[in-house]
Amino acid sequence: MGFSPRYVKDYFVQSKLKTVLIWIVEIALVVLLAAGVSFFFCKSIVVQEGSMEPTLTAGNRVLINSAAYKLSSPERGDIVVYRTTEDAKSSLHIKRIIGLPGETVQIKDGQILIDGETYVEQKDFPAITNPGLAEDAIKLGSGEYFVLGDNRNNSEDSRHVDVGNIKKKNIVGKLWFVVSPMDRFGILKK
C-alpha cells in the first residue's frame, strides 16, 4: 500500500505551514518578552542635578527598574526615582531611601537617628549641617519613606517642606544600572 502523490503533497504543505506558524508564534513571544523587559527594566533617565554626588553626577544616564516595587517594598539604601505629586507629568527626582514606613527619623548633631538609634551608613557621607524638618523627630506613616540625597548638604529632599516624606505610590522605580559615562558603566551598588 503506497501513498498517493496528492497525500504526500498535502502532508508536506501542512508540515511547512505548521513550521511557519510555530516560527510566527515564537517570534511574537520573543518580541513581547523583549518589549516587557525593555518597559520594566530599561527605562532610562539622565541625572539632572548634583544632589546624589558622588554616587551619581549630573549627566549620568541610568536605568530604572520600574517593576522592582510592584511585588516588594523599597529597602533602606535603595536609590529611587520618584515624583513629589501623583501627576504623571511632574518632574522625576533621584534620592536614597533612609527611613521606612512606621519608623521615626531625626537628624541630630549631623547624624541620622532611626527610632532613636544612630544610623551607620555603608558609605562615607559628610555630617549633615542642615537637619531641616528632621530637626524634630518625624514619624513615617504607612507607605511613607524618608529620602536624602547623597550630597547631604546640597540636596532638596525629605528635610524640606516642598518635598517631605515620599509616598510609595509616587515611587517610579529603583535605579539599578549606570549606562553612561563609560567609566561608570555597570550595576549601581547601594
Residues identified as active-site: 51, 95
Tell which residue, 180, 188, 185, has the closest CA to residue 68.
Answer: 188
Contact yes or no for 85/172 (Cβ under 8 A) = no
| HSE, side-chain direction, 13 A CA sphere, residue 102 | 0
- Cα 108 to Cα 129: distance, rounded to the nearest angstrom: 9
- Cα 131 to Cα 153: distance, rounded to the nearest angstrom: 9
- Cα 90 to Cα 105: distance, rounded to the nearest angstrom: 27
The residue written with cell numbers 521615626 in the block is: 104
Contact yes or no for 160/76 (Cβ under 8 A) = no
